[in-house]
Amino acid sequence: MGTPLRLALIGTGGRGQIYADVLRRLPPGLAEWGALCDHNPEILQAFAARNGLGVPLVYEVGDLLRRDDLDAVLICTPDSAHRAPAVACLEAGLHALVEKPLATDPADAAAICAAARAAGRILHLGFVLRYDPCVCRLRDLVAGGAIGRPIACMVHEAVGWFHAATYMRRWNRFRRYSGDLLLHKGCHTLDLVNAVTASYPRRVAAFGGTAVFVPRADAGDRCDRCDRTADCLYVADQGEAYRKRFYDTAGPQVLPEPVCVYNVDKDTTDTVTLIADYDQGMRLSYTMTLVSPRGERRLVLVGTGGEIRCDLSTYRIELSRLPDRPTEVIEVARPSGAGHQHHDLALLQHFLERIRDGDDPSAGIRDAAMSGAVAFAALESMASGVPVAVPPA
């Protein structure tokens, strides 16, 4: 197997903790930590102590890059703070796994991809859904010609109502931090459309805005200062049941203040419909809503030889082939473990394999560039009122 690849972690928050957990589950000898980096000394030192990691701790990326014993870096800084560390690390010759989304604006995304291309280093994105068994089966079916040539894809990104409300009480509601929920939440699904259909977007037209969480004159600014809580779906009483549901939905993080989801400042969309023209003759119709009874990703793929229907939350695929053949129901085995444990492990293993195998970086760089392309173009289209061309990667 050779010498373990030596990794540095930049950003020791929630996602950084996931990678610390994943590294412990890797087969021995694949990789090891070479250094940890975070600009907050208290958080960094607590992270190292909690995980029993006696590796060098550094507080600036520049200090990290003065080391000569690293092979790759995992960038887990906030979404809007990916560009500077990613570009610096790639230019220094390190391979980079960057959390999704690649960046929160197209200029930052382009700069990261340009740095990877110039350095000839692997740029890998944290899109865990690419490793979901149901998505893998969909990709294999389409690649194997089960529905002929894909010509249309219809998607409903049905974000559950409770999950949506948590976004309105966190940083995600501001574009300067998240890029918009269409990017932050939708990029997973938009990326898997690229992966499953082996196609990339060329033009996008979109309509959307805030349709659910609009200001209400009859509501207060906080749940604990409002007389409408008795009939409010989104009341945050901060009690034990609410806390449990919040942590089960949003993961381990600080419980947000019980601000009113309607009247709190925000500039994200909560309802978007877009259409996109892809190469290979494929077209996408995508709708994101943030008020669904259940969180689901509903997908229909139409090809010249049949149709696939799938809700990714059920791990059930319906395949209907032409001409008039009975619908085939494919039950995909759910991965073991809680949350994305299976996906996280598969993601990191694939990144390490690409480094060890000397994989050509170009395909991964194009995937990275295109992962946010639809969202960026859709936001521009909503602002301008006209279709927007996607720059070639």
Residues 213-252 pLDDT 10s: 999 999 999 999 999 999 999 999 888 999 999 988 887 7
CATH superfamily of 5-127: NAD(P)-binding Rossmann-like Domain (3.40.50.720)
Question: Per the structure block, which two tokens stand in for 11?
Answer: 């950003």
Indicate the residue type of 307: E
Q: Side chain identity at 116, as an amino acid letter? A: A
Alpha-carbon distance 226 to 170, whole Å?
Answer: 20
Helix%, strand%, coil% for the chain, nearest 5: 40, 25, 35
H-type alpha helices, the chain: 14-25, 41-51, 61-64, 83-91, 106-119, 133-143, 161-167, 175-178, 181-184, 187-197, 240-250, 341-356, 361-371, 373-384
Q: What is the pLDDT of residues 246-280, one digit of tens each?
A: 988 887 778 889 999 999 999 999 999 999 999 98
Give me the mean pLDDT over the 76-91 stretch: 97
> How far is residue 287's CA from residue 157's CA, in Å, rounded to a whole number?
6
Amino acid letter for position 387? P
130-213+266-389 CATH pick, 3.30.360.10, 3.10.20.30, 3.90.1150.10, 3.40.50.2300:
3.30.360.10
Q: Which pLDDT tens digit goes with each residue over 311-342? A: 999 999 999 999 999 999 999 999 987 667 89
Residue type, 221: D
Tens digit of each residue's pLDDT (9 = 90 or more) over 13-52: 989 999 999 999 999 999 999 999 999 999 999 999 999 9
Domain ranges of the chain: 5-127, 130-213+266-389
Q: What DSSP string runs through 104-130?
A: SSHHHHHHHHHHHHHHT--EEE--GGG
Return the sign of the alpha-carbon dihedral for residues 257, 261, 262, 264.
positive
Distance between CA atoms of residues 165 and 264, nearest Å: 11
